[in-house]
Amino acid sequence: MRATTFTNAAVLALASQASAETIKIDVGANGLTFTPDSVTAKVHDILEFHFHPINHSVVMGDFANPCQPAKTGGFFSGFQPVSSGEADQVFQVTVNSTDPIFFYCSQNTFSHCISGMSGVVNANSSQTLDAYQKAAKSEKSASNPQEVFGGRLVTSGSSTTTSAAPAATTSCTVSSKSGGNGYKRSDTCSGAGSVSASIGIVGVFTLGMAILLS
Ligand SMILES: [Cu+2]
């Protein structure tokens, strides 16, 4: 009898693991949006954020406070600057509840969140993305936590977890007093790759300016 119970439990555990899905969400691939920006997820599913140019982030927020970090729990990917293609790292967040989860990009250059760069997991009739995005327009600026937390930065295209710990190695010394400008913030990232990427972005801008001025 005990053996049967154990077997059933084991099968259930395996079944729930096997059915966990990875949900890919592109960040900034189609302008200032998440694609898709509304998903349905089960407990144990993994949200996997892929970052596109130029410099985006993802932060979990609360429905009631658009463009601001969640008061309890949540996640923050840090800024993931990339000049072309996709950032080296993806950010994985394991879903642990089927309650609505709102998320946004905290890049203030061109006011990403205020412009509607946000998304939702498991929206319901009282907490919709439409309502969140409308309310976001009244915000003055977006903010984000100091450090990467609540998920895993994983090297894209491999299963190597580069930062299993909540506080990631590539976390930037982010503070709202650095002008709310993620482009500048990336200068203070501790990861060597981030620094060179930010130099690359400056290069792209310089080139862009040169073209505009020529
Ligand atoms: Cu953004």
What pLDDT, on a 0 to 100 scale, did the predictor assign at position 14? Answer: 57
In what helix (H) or strand (E) does residue 65 lie, and over which residues does it extend? strand 65-69
Per the CB < 8 A criterion, the answer to whether 138 and 44 are in contact is: no
What pLDDT, on a 0 to 100 scale, did the predictor assign at position 17? Answer: 58
CA 107–ligand 1 middle distance (angstroms)? 5
CA 150–ligand 1 middle distance (angstroms)? 19
CA 164–ligand 1 middle distance (angstroms)? 24
CA 112–ligand 1 middle distance (angstroms)? 5
Residues 6+ apart with CB under 8 A from 86: 50, 51, 52, 156
CA 134–ligand 1 middle distance (angstroms)? 17
User: Can you tell me the distance from the alpha carbon of 95 to that of 42, in angstroms, rounded to the nearest whole number?
Assistant: 7
What pLDDT, on a 0 to 100 scale, did the predictor assign at position 4? Answer: 52
Comparing C-alpha atoms, which of 36, 162, 28 is closest to residue 106? 28
What pLDDT, on a 0 to 100 scale, did the predictor assign at position 209? Answer: 40
Instruction: Count Cβ neighbours within 10 Å for each residue of 117-145 and write b for 16 or more, e otherwise.
Output: bbbbbbbeeebebeebbeebeebeebbbb
Which residue is it, tokens 């800024």? 79
CA 9–ligand 1 middle distance (angstroms)? 43
CA 49–ligand 1 middle distance (angstroms)? 12
Domains in the chain, ordered, with CATH? 20-213 (2.60.40.420)
CA 17–ligand 1 middle distance (angstroms)? 32
CA 182–ligand 1 middle distance (angstroms)? 9
CA 15–ligand 1 middle distance (angstroms)? 36
Distances (CA, A) of 54 to 61, 146, 152, 184: 22, 20, 21, 12
Tens digit of pLDDT per residue, the chain (214 long)?
455 555 555 555 555 555 899 999 999 999 999 999 999 999 999 999 999 999 999 999 999 999 999 999 999 999 999 999 999 999 999 999 999 999 999 999 999 999 999 999 999 999 999 999 999 999 999 999 999 999 999 997 765 444 433 433 333 333 333 333 344 333 333 333 333 334 344 444 443 444 333 3
Residues 6+ apart with CB under 8 A from 94: 44, 45, 46, 47, 151
User: Can you tell me the distance from the alpha carbon of 106 to that of 142, in angstroms, rounded to the nearest whole number?
Assistant: 5
